Structure formats: structure tokens, C-alpha cells
Amino acid sequence: MVKIGLEVHVHLTALKTKLFCSCPTDYTDKEPNTIICPVCLGLPGSIPVINENALKYAIMVAIALNGEVADRLAMVRKHYFYPDMAKNYQISQYDGPGSIAISKGGFVKLRDGKIIRIRRINIEEDPAKIVYPTGSMLTSKYTLLDYNRSGMALLEIVTEPDMTEPKEAREFLEKLRSILEHLGVCNCDLEGAMRADANVSVEGGERVEVKNIGSPREVEEAIKYEIARQRAAISQGLKVERETRHWDEQRKVTVPTRTKEQEEDYRYFPDPDLPPYFINKELIEEIRKTLPELPDIRIQRLVKQYGITEYDATVLVIDKALADLFEETAKNYTNYKKLVNLLINDYLRWLNDKNLRPSQSRATPLHLAELLKMLDDGTITIKIAKEILPEVVLQGKLPSQIIKERGLTAVRDQEFLIQVIKEVIKEEPEAVEKAKKDPKVVNYLVGKVMKKTGKRADPQLTNELIRKLILEKSE
């Protein structure tokens, strides 16, 4: 039996300042070690002060995940030595004597109805970013530290080991990402904004933690590898040691980094610089009443409002940017089924193939509405629409501009099409004979005509003309 639990670390990127100081949170693309101060470096004499908005965002997440919010905010020092921790301890939370997590309990429901329980949610500071300039963690000749990230507000969301398959871990993370994006507390597209540690154990072996995996897809792959590795070890009579491992994205393997610490190794104790902060129930209820629309509710609304299937609504909502694009485009294009088919079957599939997310696309609602209207009025064919879609997404060009520049308007000149069809009939006598008995074969002939016309022939008109010419020939 396989048991999988996750520890998800989420940056509260919506905050303007770090967790315990006034340093700005916008450190992306900044020069290393320039967005720092004595507090986030942990220098002697510096005093941390809690960011109250971080507490409010944590409560929002706890409520959205069906958790029980604590009556006070209590911070502890988690001691360990590692290069990315200047003061050799991390200000965090711990569910134990003298401390309490900001939230306990809660759950996330997967598409098949399975419940993944949340054990706790902690608020903590992020350490520095470790940079390996000349390779990977294993091959770089030296290591650099960028403290711009140090002190960023993190939520650590810890699940129970309720998952038994790698795909469940991926689905959980995708659902969690959607919840966070709908809440507006985290821009998960930013590098390092959402990372996961996967705890994996196979019956007969110890729990192994795979650290700092950067995306739901990579989490799925890392867990698959780790299950196979542990099973192979057990089948050979070897003992699976309790340890921490690293996921090497290039080689797609996990590698050992250190022996896994026990909780007592961290020597937790209350942070003397941060006394407990009591949370009144009125604040919790006020936050509960002002929560934005969450994914599960949005799915049901999309089904009711636009008449699309629950499956299609779920695919849209799993990525907030995609659902937003659908709803904004729907204001100017009302064939909702055709719109959702384009988004899921063509737009999203192409983005996935290129490992891009909808938020990285330059296609706007205006682009998509124009593309669909040009399809409807026969200006372009579906094949042309699919052909120009990548250019729309990557360059943000209007479909009409691309069509004009490349001369891709659909061909509906019957005399011209008949000449091309006659050429195809002459070249494909066997297919013509089969088409007389099986109408489906006509699609093969249509494809040949499309090829000869550079995908510009109107497929419906071409189909009608081929059937007409074949019938005339048979008579």
C-alpha cells in the first residue's frame, strides 16, 4: 500500500511587504541581496513585527479549506542549520506544547469525491534562495545565496497521508492552486510561489520526503519515481531509510540529501520577540462573509449560467485565468459550447504541449471572439483557425491581421474547388470507389482537397461538391 502526504509552501504574493519587516515582496528580477534589511537577515538586535495582512490572508485560506481557525497567533523558533538560514532558526508555527497552528483540520474534495484531509496550516517565513551557478544541486562547483526571498510570508499547508496515487497528489495541488488564485492571495505563476514536499511511503518501508518540487506535474513525476524506487529496494530485501531527498528535474530522479530530522531535532520554543496575538471571532466572521467566489461554487454557476457541462466547467475553473478568459469572451460571443470547445480542445491543449499556463498567453477575449466569429461566417476554416492560434497566443496579433498578412481566407469559389476536386478524384480512384459505398471515406478526399488548397478550402462546401461529383460519375 502506498501512502502520500504533501507539505505545500505558498508565498502570499499579494502582500506588499514581507512577513516581519517593511521590505517589499516584489523581489522577482531584482539584483540579488538588494531587497533585504536587518530583520530578514536575522541580525542581532533586530526585532520582527507581524504583518497583519498576512494573518488575514491565512484566515481566508483556512476558511476556504474548511479549517478551524485558532483563537490566537503564536510563533515559534524552529532551529536547524542550513546555508539559507542566516540566524540558524526559522520563525514558524508548531502544533505542540506552548504553540498552535493558525488552522487545524479542513479538507479538499477531488473530482471523484475523494476527501483529502488537511492536518494544519502554519504561517512562517521563507529562507533565502540557494543558487547553483554552474549546474544542479549535485554538479555545481559552488553555491550562492540570494536573501531577497528571505522573510517572505509563507503558508505551510500540511495534508494527512490520504493520497494513494501520484495523480491524486497532482489533482490536489491543481485544486489548491485554483483556490489560492480565486482568493487572490498568491500568484502561483511566479517562480517558487508554490512549492511542495512529498512524503511517500510504501508498505514495509520508512517515510521518505522529497523536497521543493516546483509544479503539480513535477510532483506527480517525482512521486511515481519514488514509489518505483522504494518498491525496487523492498523487493531486493533492502531497507528504505527515513531520509530527505531532492527531485532532479533534468534527470527525473530523486537523490539523497540528508537523514530526515525528527521533530525534537528542531528544538521548537515560543519566539520571545513575538508574543501571542489574539484573534477575535468578529474578524474571522468578517473575512468569511467577504470571501470571493470559490472554485466549486464557480463551477456550478458556469454550468447554470452558460449551459456547459460540469466537466467543461471544472476544466475551465481549475485555472482561474482560463475561466476568466471564458467569461470575458462570452460577453461578446454567445455560442458558449463552441467557445468552450475551442478553449479546452485547442487553446488549452496547445498551451499544455508548450508547458505554458493561460496567464502567460497574449490572447485576449477580443482575439478569441474575433477568431470564432470569422469561423462562423466562413471567413476561415477550422484548420486555419488552429494554424494561426499559436501566433495569436504568443504574439497577441488579431486573427484578422494574420489572415490578411498571410492570405488565409477560406476558398468558396465553386469553379476553382471543382477543378481541384476533379484532380483529387483522378489521383484517388480507389478512395472514390470506396466513398460510393462508405460516405465516411469522403472525409479522406476532403482532406486531400484541403492539402492542395493550403487548408483554405471551405470543408463543408468541399464535402458537398465531392458527393455531388461522385454521384454524377457513378450515374
Query: Residues 239-244: what's their mean pLDDT?
Result: 90
**Total residues found in the chain within this entry:** 475
Contact 220, 109 (CB under 8 A): no
Question: pLDDT at position 260, please?
Answer: 53
Phi, psi of 386 (to 5 degrees): -65, -35
Confidence of residue 24 (pLDDT cuts 50, 70, 90): very high
Which position has the higher pLDDT, 236 or 264? 236
For cell 470547445, what's the residue?
A: 341
Cα 208 to the center of its chain, rounded Å: 24
Phi, psi of 166 (to 5 degrees): -55, -35
Output the CA–CA distances (angstroms, integers) from residue 176 to 61, 173, 195, in the order listed: 10, 5, 12
Question: pLDDT at position 266, please?
Answer: 77
User: How many whole angstroms separate alpha carbon 278 and alpha carbon 73?
Assistant: 6
Contact 170, 208 (CB under 8 A): no
Question: pLDDT at position 457, please?
Answer: 73
Task: Examine the pLDDT at 11 and tell me if it is beyond 80.
Answer: yes
Phi, psi of 194 (to 5 degrees): -140, 115
What kind and span of H or E run contains 365?
helix 365-376
Contact 442, 462 (CB under 8 A): no
Classify strands 243-248 and 208-213 as parallel, antiparallel or unpaired. Answer: parallel
Cell numbers placing 355: 508547458
Contact 297, 326 (CB under 8 A): no
| Torsion, CA 325, CA 392, CA 379, CA 451, rounded to 10 | -130
pLDDT, tens digit (0-9, with 9 covering 90-100), for 329-369: 999 999 999 999 999 999 998 898 888 889 889 999 999 99
Quickly count: other Cβ atoms within 10 Å of residue 405's Cβ: 10
User: How many whole angstroms separate alpha carbon 285 and alpha carbon 287?
Assistant: 5
Question: pLDDT at position 263, please?
Answer: 61
User: How many whole angstroms separate alpha carbon 183 and alpha carbon 120?
Assistant: 19
Contact 177, 320 (CB under 8 A): no
Query: Residues 199-220: what's their mean pLDDT?
Result: 91
Contact 362, 394 (CB under 8 A): yes
Question: pLDDT at position 473, please?
Answer: 56
Query: Residues 221-243: what's their mean pLDDT?
Result: 93
Q: What's the pTM?
A: 0.85
Query: Residues 257-261: what's their mean pLDDT?
Result: 64
Contact 235, 227 (CB under 8 A): no
Which position has the higher pLDDT, 130 or 423? 130
pLDDT, tens digit (0-9, with 9 covering 90-100), for 385-401: 888 888 898 888 898 88
In sequence order, the β-bridge partners of residue 243 are 208, 259
Question: pLDDT at position 424, please?
Answer: 75
Smallest CA-to-CA distance from 465 within 334, 473, 172 is with 473
Task: Examine the pLDDT at 250 and tell me if it is beyond 70.
Answer: yes
pLDDT, tens digit (0-9, with 9 covering 90-100), for 130-159: 898 887 777 888 999 999 999 999 999 999
User: How many whole angstroms separate alpha carbon 177 and alpha carbon 188?
Assistant: 7
Output the CA–CA distances (angstroms, integers) from residue 271 to 41, 87, 114, in the order listed: 16, 13, 38
Domains of the chain in sequence order: 2-287 (no CATH), 294-406 (no CATH), 414-474 (1.10.10.410)
Distance spanning both ends of the chain, measured CA to CA: 68
Query: Residues 250-271: what's their mean pLDDT?
Result: 78
